[in-house]
Amino acid sequence: MSILQMDNILIDGLAVPSYARSPRLTIGGLAAVAVHGAAGSGMHTKPIFQDRRDAGRRLAERVRDPLHESDALVLALPRGGVPVGYEVAQALRAELDVFVVRKLGVPDRPELAIGAIASGGVRVLNDALLKDLDLSSALIEQLTAREAMELKRREELYRQGRPALPIFDRTVVLVDDGLATGASMAAAAKAVHLQKPKRVIVAVPVGAEKTCEELRRNADAVVCAYTPEPFLAVSMWYEDFEQTTDEAVQRLLHTVKIGGQN
């Protein structure tokens, strides 16, 4: 397994809201309204997207500009990234496949990622965070082995015997439903680069602005359609953020056809 350092990816949790900010938020040239509640109740934000399919359709409009090739490959990060990637692939008339990534979470704080592993045997670690947490090498290897088993299970489940679509010398569009810490996407981008694509484009409907900027180190282009401040969490920007099931992933991968034809 290749071990690559994760450079300056925001990892210590989600952005903390600043109630001193303006109640009107500028997002990628558009605006969303942040409404202050009663005293002490904090800030409420209106969702941008109805659901992941809606987010994918709107993201596809933004991806067209940096995408010039006709043989693009959309790789969606399961599970939540697949409905988004499906709509992007359909709009671009591109092939769709999954690229499985698993976060390496701290045992007593699973939401805190010390890194991630991705298809192709790549592991990305946040060395600075590991130093602060003082985790043993044995524990890190244990976490990696556990997530590697789940990664393999999901690849087999989603592809159902199909080989992975070729990446070499193609423009790859990596898609997820949003970016908070960016750990999973950083691992995916670095793993894809090892397979020598023509270009790697990271595309998400919504993300923390700092994370989107940091990911430019790992991709040829980054498309974050909306970067609200304060970001808070990916789920806040969706009316419907119901968990995507394995069955839904299988169904979408089975439905999409080469060239985006149903």
Give the global pTM: 0.76
The number of angstroms, rounded, from the C-alpha of 114 to the middle of its chain's C-alpha atoms is 16
**Cα→Cα distances 250→21, 57, 72, 157, Å:** 42, 20, 21, 8
CATH label of the domain that carries residue 188: 3.40.50.2020
Residue range of the domain that includes 246: 2-260
For 199-224, what is the mean pLDDT?
A: 96
| Location of structure tokens 């006709």 | 70
Residue 149: exposed, middle, or buried by beta-carbon count in 10 A (0-12, 13-18, 19+)? exposed
Average pLDDT, the chain: 81
Quick: pLDDT tens for 138-189. Answer: 999 999 999 999 999 999 999 888 888 999 999 999 999 999 888 889 989 9
Q: Which residue has the higher pLDDT, 259 or 99?
A: 99
pLDDT tens digits, one per residue of 33-50: 333 223 333 444 789 999
Q: How many domains does the chain have?
A: 1
Q: In what order do the strands lie in the sheet with 30-36?
A: 24-27, 30-36, 43-45
- Cβ(227)–Cβ(209) under 8 Å? yes
179: which strand partners?
207
Cβ–Cβ < 8 Å for 214, 113? no
